[in-house]
Amino acid sequence: MSASQFIQMLENKGLLDPESIVELQKMVEQSKVRVTPEALARILVENGQLTRFQATKLVTELKEQQQAQGSAQASSSRQPTPNKKPPTDSVDDLLPPEEVEEVVVEVQEVFEDPVAEVVEVVEATETRSSNSKRKNAKPTGALLDDGLKGVAVAKAPVTKNKPEKSPWESFGIIGMGFIVLLLLTLLVPLYIWFTQGSAKESLEIAENFYKNRDYERASKQYELFATGFPADENASTAKVKGTLAKVREASEKNADPSVGLKAAQEELPKVVNEAGMSNMRVEITDVLLRIAEKFISKADNTPGIQDRKTLITAMNQQMDLIRDPRYVGTQERTQNELRIRRIEEDQQRVVREIQQSEDLDTTVAAMTASLEAKEVVKTYEQRRELVKKYPILEENSKLRDLMLQATDVQRASVAKSNAAPVSQDTVSAFAAPTALLTSRVGNPIDSNPEDVAFLRVKGSAIAIAVANGQVLWRKFIGKDWTGEPKRLAPTSDSDAIVAVASRGTVSRLAAKDGSVVWESKFPEPILEPAVDGDDIFVATTAGNVHCLDAISGQPRWSKKIPQSIDVGTGGAPGKRKRYLVGNHSNLYVLSRGNGECDEVVYLGHNPGTIAVPPIWVLNQLILFENAGPDHCLMKVYSTNDEGTELKLAQPPVRFRGHVVVEPQVEGRRLAVATNLGEIAILDVEVTNPKEKVTKMVNLVSNEAAPKATWPLMSGTDLWLASNRLAYFQIQITGQKLNSVWLKEDLDEFTARPIKLGDVILHSRVVRGNAGVRVAAINPKTGDAYWETDIGNPVASLSPGPQGLVAVTSQAATFNVPSDAFATENIGLKPTLSIENMGRNQRSMTFANPIPLADGRSLLLNSAQGSQMLLVDPARKSTSTSKLVVLDLAGSYPIAESIAVGSSVLVPLENAQLMMLDPENGKPIGTPFQPTISAGERPIWLNPVLLSDKQSVVIADQRRNLYKLSTGKQLRLLNAQPLERGIKGRIDVINDVAVGLSPGPSGDFLDF
């Protein structure tokens, strides 16, 4: 009869709660001595968990079950069972009797009545003697239990009819209590030590399983520990860690992160209220983040769109767990902020990729349908919108294949153009007689007298002699002309080609006198033409391409491409192919002889991103695409010797800024300048297997604002013209540019410099001036041989002894005779200045002449404010003009000046009115200063002179009107406040001042 069977019977009958059952099982398993059912029953009775009747009945039933099993065995073997003991009604009779010696001693010491009790003792002695043999085989450790049982046997039997109290019963109770107390004193510390040692070992076993990643066994061991030792301080943490082990088992042992998600959703809520959660949140956070990262990795390696969407949907649930403060606290979220942010960004990236894939599939289907319908423009638009949304799809193979199909359709769409130009030989004359005023200084140079340079100067084409700077002729084209005159051939007597894009005209001008040889008129705006020998290639913005005969201006052929055009044709001189870039996407390869389209290449560029024509050098076609707001990409395509079969030769090369000025080609090298200051010398090396075109020399300067820069390269010399002229020497071995000098800083250059022999010609607008200065300089030093000023506005015109006396804004004075005027360009000869007071100075802008009473006139320099030009057309002195520096006490004119007799009245910025002597620029008398408050600075309006020629009226914007008397000095006559402020100018009518003042619904005329 085993204790385990007895405990099982208690559990089956539900006599004890589950926790007590588990505790009894542990005690039995961990006990080092044999525990009998009788001992368990006695302890339960003494603890009050069972009644004596229940204990007796349970022990009896257990014995009967064992006897029944024994009887069945005996009957089968036909061996009777000796000395069967009948069942008893008391648990005291069922428990093993005590040792003879102990019981006898106790009985003899306490009682002397030999009646029934002695019989009981004798019987017990006999029984004990019969059982003593069996006791000798037991370990000594069981003596304590046997002693308890002996005490129980020594009690007097209970008589049902007469429940008399035996004197032995009081003694047994007292003795039993003493013995139990003694046992508790000895065994409780031992039990505490034993149970604590077992808890520590159990926890260590679980921890070792967990560290070795045996999560299944670790989870079970944690559960055993938490159940077996619920009072242990680590029990709650063990429960949480056991749950976490299950989550780790699911997430780390399965490739599908959804399994880990499911485990986390099922298991973590079970322990969310455990005290051990606070100790495990760091590890829980790490596990949840690992699952989320696993979702990202799985999504990146999953090709199907629907499968990826399923993963992202599941990952949203995972992110909900991470955002739940019960699992990931504030501290853990702060510590893992970067990691969480990276996971969220990766999730958003995957979502974008899924959307990108869906949009790609949709667009590919739409483009396929458009191509089937031959709607190529719609196909390009669909691709453009997709690439604009997803730039990474720029080189997508599906889109590229569709674009190749579209280029085939485009090639077949190139047809003959019906928009042919109309040629004419006559040109209208000037609207009125015209004279040309120029100023020239310097010395002639040793150069071919026949060398002529063609330049654009303020809307006019001019021919200038290289030897001395003389303007040979001027042909006014128009203010809308933004191109440059092009020489037909490199010879000195070659004519010039001039194209006006807005008017759609191309003209050939004679080099000798600028007369029009022929002019072709196109029905639509054109682009800058390309001149190649006897052919002139003209492209129109509407997509027409024409080849004109340079001699007659008649078209050789005309073609129409199915796109608009932003830039003219490109290529190389003398080659058989011309290259035309469409407004977007395509490059068309045209035959020079008949204009047939030999090939269409898909470039993929956006509208307006290519500003210069393609360049062909050594079987390499080079294009510059302004792909971004601050950068340009150079694309290189290799061709065969015929210029066809284009293939991308290398990855694009990036430049800082946009290429808006056509690069200069010098042999196998190109000089490239961007509008943000990057300068590069490109080298074409066809034997290089990786990059055919490379940046041999590179210089990057940080320009604050875009500006045009014209490069000029000759050998190892490089000149750059923008808002200055700089000279560099190209160091090939060191791959750098060495700066030599910089000149004409802050001047505005208008075109690319021209190198003719040992001379460089350039044109610029001098800072603060209104005209254009053309100069011939020494290439090595930058020193000017000669300078010619052209196009300065006429600021003053008055009669003189030899015709008209004209003064330009640059302070140059001209005597213009009547024969200087011509009605046609052929008869127009330039008139040179007789004086040029502002030749070597900047900021010279004279305007608004003021006539004096003695016939002279004054012009103030609006660019500086402290200079005045005194002009005497009658030449009463030795010179016609005189430059006078004004003494304005550090101020400058703020409003219009007027003449008072032979003096001039000047309103100044410092709120003073000053009378000046024109001869020396000195003040006359004391300036007038109105009463003003500290820090106040009134602004003057224009002064007016009254009919007495002595009184002056002037107003300011503070609503004050002043009347002053002039003479030896200014004197205030009257000051009158105004109801309203004056707007603009004031004037006088019959000595009454008149001005306009603003009102709520209109302006008022005040007198």
pLDDT digits (tens, 9 = 90+) for 610-650: 999 999 999 999 999 999 999 999 999 999 999 999 999 99
- Give a yes or no: residue 963 inside a domain: no
Residue 777 has pLDDT above 80, yes or no: yes
- Alpha-carbon distances of 623 from 112, 637, 640, rounded to whole Å: 131, 8, 17
C-alpha–C-alpha distance, residues 280 and 716, integer Å: 73
Q: Which tokens is 585 given? A: 């996407």
Phi/psi at 544 (nearest 5 deg)? -95, 145
Residue listed under structure tokens 């106040």:
936
User: Using only C-alpha atoms, what is the Rg of the chain?
Assistant: 56
How far is residue 569 from each of residues 544, 582, 751, 947, measured CA to CA in Å?
11, 10, 21, 68
Alpha helices in 462-531 (DSSP H): none
In terms of Cα–Cα distance, which of 179, 51, 701, 165 is closest to 709?
Answer: 701
Tell me what pLDDT residue 413 has: 86
Checking 621-630 for CB contacts under 8 A at 24+ apart, the result is 621/579, 621/646, 622/670, 622/682, 622/693, 623/581, 623/587, 624/655, 624/659, 624/663, 624/672, 625/652, 626/658, 626/659, 626/660, 630/656, 630/657, 630/676
Question: Considering the chain, what percentage of its residues have pLDDT values greater than 90?
Answer: 42
pLDDT digits (tens, 9 = 90+) for 567-601: 999 999 999 999 999 998 899 999 999 999 999 99
CA atoms of 805 and 825, how far apart (whole Å):
23
Encoded tokens for 645: 């079969």
131 domain residue, yes or no: no
Do 655 and 580 belong together in one domain?
yes
The residue that leads in pLDDT, 103 or 21, is 21
Q: Is the dihedral of CA 290, 292, 295, 297 positive or negative?
A: negative
pLDDT of residue 94: 44
Give the pLDDT score at 173. Answer: 67
**Is residue 268 one of the residues assigned to a domain?**
yes
Averaged over 134-140, what is the pLDDT?
A: 38
Which single residue is written with the structure tokens 């010797």? 641
- pLDDT surpassing 70 at residue 11: yes
Q: Are residues 198 and 330 in the same domain?
A: yes
The more confidently predicted of residues 19 and 133 is: 19
pLDDT at 330 over 70: yes
Q: What is the pLDDT of residue 640?
A: 95
**Block residue for tokens 């490239």:** 672
Q: What is the pLDDT of residue 822?
A: 78
Domain co-membership, 230 together with 287: yes
| Long-range contacts of the stretch 496-503 (C-beta < 8 A, 24+) | 496/454, 496/461, 496/463, 497/529, 497/531, 497/536, 497/550, 498/461, 499/526, 499/528, 499/529, 499/538, 501/525, 501/526, 501/527, 501/528, 503/478
Please check whether residue 9 lies inside any domain of the structure: yes
Range of the domain at 13: 1-40+51-86
* Same-domain status, 67 and 21: yes
**pLDDT score of 137:** 39
Amino acid symbol at 199: A
**What's the farthest any 2 CA atoms get from each other in the chain?**
179
384 lies in the same domain as 315: no
What average pLDDT does this structure show over 71-93?
47
Pairing mode, strands 631-638 and 620-625: antiparallel
Each residue's pLDDT tens digit, 741-757: 999 999 999 999 999 88
Residue 426 identity: T
pLDDT of residue 152: 36
Nearest CA-CA partner of 50 in 94, 12, 18, 10 = 10
Query: How high is the mean pLDDT of the chain?
Result: 83
* Residue 246 in domain: yes
Q: Are 391 and 294 within one domain?
A: no
Which pLDDT belongs to residue 168?
A: 43
Q: Are 753 and 742 in contact (CB under 8 A)?
A: no
Q: Are residues 392 and 311 in the same domain?
A: no
Mean pLDDT for 179-204 is 66
- In single-letter form, the type of residue at position 956 comes to D
pLDDT in tens, 398-437: 988 888 888 888 888 888 888 888 877 655 566 678 888 8
Q: Which of 720, 670, 721, 757 is nearest to 490 (CA)?
A: 757
For 806, the token pair is 């004209």
The three-class DSSP label of residue 649 is coil
Look at the chain and count its residues. 1007
Per-residue pLDDT at 88 exceeds 90: no
Q: Are residues 214 and 317 in the same domain?
A: yes
pLDDT at residue 430, rounded to an integer: 63
Minimal CA–CA distance to 421: which of 531, 503, 516? 503
Query: What is the band of 186 on the pLDDT scale with cuts at 50, 70, 90?
Result: low
> Are residues 829 and 844 in contact, defined by beta-carbon separation less than 8 angstroms?
no
Q: Give the pLDDT score at 127.
A: 36
Q: Are 506 and 486 in contact (CB under 8 A)?
A: no
Q: 1003: closest CA among 986, 983, 976?
A: 983
Q: To which residue do tokens 């019989």 refer?
A: 119
What is the band of 1005 on the pLDDT scale with cuts at 50, 70, 90? confident
End-of-domain residue from the set 622, 656, 673: 673
- Cα–Cα distance for residue pair 550/486, rounded to 1 Å: 12
Give yes or no for residue 117 having a pLDDT over 60: no
Q: Are residues 308 and 380 in the same domain?
A: no
**pTM, rounded to two decimals:** 0.68
- Residues 300, 403, single domain; the answer is no
CATH code, 603 = 2.40.128.630
CA distance 621 to 647: 10
- The tokens for 450 are 């026949």
Weakest mean pLDDT among 23-32, 706-715, 743-752: 23-32
**692 within domain boundaries:** no
pLDDT digits (tens, 9 = 90+) for 427-455: 556 667 888 889 899 999 988 888 899 99
**Strands 830-832, 436-442: pairing kind:** parallel
Select from 673, 703, 724 the last residue of a domain: 673
Give residues with Cβ within 8 angstroms of 641, minimum separation 6.
619
292 with 403, same domain: the answer is no
Domains in the chain, number: 4
Arithmetic mean of pLDDT, 960-968: 86
DSSP run (H or E) holding 462: strand 460-465
* 583 in the same domain as 662: yes
Torsion angle of the four alpha carbons 463, 466, 471, 475, in this order, in degrees rounded to the nearest 10: 10
Residue 892: its pLDDT value, please? 87
What is the mean predicted confidence (pLDDT) over 455-466?
92
Asked if 684 contacts 732 with a C-beta cutoff of 8 angstroms, the reply is no
In the DSSP assignment, the letter for residue 532 is: E
In-domain check, residue 279: yes
Over 70: is that where the pLDDT of 905 sits? yes
> How big is the CA angle at 488 (ends 485 and 489), to the nearest 5 degrees?
125
Residue 543, Ramachandran bin (φ over 0: left; ψ between -120 and 50: alpha; else beta): left
Any domain includes 584: yes
The mean pLDDT value for 291-309 works out to 92
> Tokens 């303020």 correspond to what residue?
458
Three-state secondary-structure class, residue 777 = strand
H or E stretch at 891 = none
Residue with tokens 């300068």: 679
Backbone angles phi, psi at 64, to 5 degrees: -60, -40
CB neighbours of 732 closer than 8 A, spacing ≥ 6? 696, 697, 716
